[in-house]
Amino acid sequence: MPEGGRLQQSESEDAFMTGTLRMHDVTRSCQQTLQISLFFDGTNNNDDANNPYPHLRDSLKHAHTNVARLFNIAIDDLDNGISRFYIPGLIHLHRTHRMINSNCLLRLGILLKGAAAALCLSLAACAGGQQSATSVQVEVPQRVRLVSGDSEVLNYTPWYIENFSIFGPSGSGIGGGGPGVLPVKEDGRPSTGGGVCCTSVPAEWQPNLKLTVRWAVDKKMDGKTPGYWYKAENVRIAQYDGANAGGIWTIFLPGDRVRFMVTDGNHEGGNNPNNRPADNDPYIVQGVLDVEWNRMYRRGGMQ
């Protein structure tokens, strides 16, 4: 430690220059600014779509905080150096859920590491191929610009859907979910539900994107027997026009099937919530009993 706790003027300038050079290319010809927004929620608040227990999301109960709401409308555009990260508050739950707290802190470290990697890639790109003293290879998950909107739902099945969750690739920020929805109406029209914030999808359609949809369905409807969890994997979003993207819809069909779509104003196409999807629609995916989630979350397990 220098005498008096202060660096001499020359030492201070050297330290500043060293730090500056670490944030630029070796010729200092390229400077980049990252805009990173961190949203720290308070104790017992959790609206993270990618946490291990998504059915506990506050927004499913209309109880998410302003912190979560601000995160949902924040810009996330990695190509332009703008990133948003949501960190849930610490949660006091019973022992089977104890891992959430440590997962929150772990995810924060991973997210910050990803931001640092983005900075490295950004500096390398703007250097225009100039030779540098050190070459570092960094692998980061592919990120695309996202849009968020209310989770809407249609239920064509004769069963009550208790709630549902949508998962995109890990680290993508894609996902969401919604609350319960009543069975199909007596005249065959679907029951509607949702209007809960938020589900996030790519701003432009991604043909190779695959999602997982999980939902709890009550087929007894006797007021006593808990519903069972189902899941559909490799769910693709029906093709949509990102420039006109509107509502985000999850559609439940008889036979434990599901379809996911984004309305785009094309009422003659397949993204019209007023039209029931045809049974041969290629974007309909068959669901199956979710053994893992029933064992973990359903009272009575698979019994």
What's 204's domain CATH number? 2.60.40
Q: Are residues 151 and 54 in the same domain?
A: no
pLDDT at 101 over 50: no
Cβ–Cβ < 8 Å for 228, 244:
no
pLDDT at 100 over 80: no
Higher pLDDT: 260 or 225? It is 260
75 in a domain, yes or no?
yes
Q: Report CA-CA distances (Å) from 289 to 175, 228, 293.
A: 21, 7, 9
pLDDT at 115 over 70: no
| pLDDT given at position 87 | 81
Whole-model pTM above 0.75?
Answer: no
C-alpha span between 56 and 211 (Å, rounded):
19
Residue 208 contacts by C-beta under 8 Å, 6 or more apart in sequence?
none
- Per-residue pLDDT tens for 10-67? 655 655 555 554 444 444 455 567 788 888 888 778 887 766 666 667 777 677 888 8
136 in a domain, yes or no?
no
SS3 assignment, position 83? strand
Q: Are residues 176 and 270 in the same domain?
A: yes
Phi and psi based region of residue 275 (left: phi greater than 0; alpha: psi -120 to 50; beta: remaining): beta
Q: Are residues 37 and 167 in the same domain?
A: no
C-alpha span between 66 and 285 (Å, rounded):
35
Q: Are residues 87 and 175 in the same domain?
A: no
- Per-residue pLDDT tens for 212-252? 999 999 999 888 888 999 999 999 999 999 888 888 999 99
- Domain containing 102: what range? 32-126
- Per-residue pLDDT tens for 152-193? 999 999 999 998 999 999 888 899 888 889 999 999 999 998
Cβ–Cβ < 8 Å for 97, 91:
yes
155 in a domain, yes or no?
yes
160 in a domain, yes or no?
yes
Cβ–Cβ < 8 Å for 164, 248:
no
Q: Are residues 267 and 166 in the same domain?
A: yes
pLDDT at 266 over 80: no
Q: Are residues 191 and 121 in the same domain?
A: no
Domain count for the chain: 2
**Residue 20 burial (CB < 10 Å; 0-12/13-18/19+)?**
exposed
- Per-residue pLDDT tens for 117-141? 545 444 444 444 444 444 444 343 4
Q: Are residues 93 and 210 in the same domain?
A: no
Q: Are residues 122 and 150 in the same domain?
A: no
Give CA 281 to chain center in angstroms: 26
Cβ–Cβ < 8 Å for 253, 155:
no
Q: Report CA-CA distances (Å) from 279 to 89, 179, 188, 285.
A: 43, 25, 15, 10
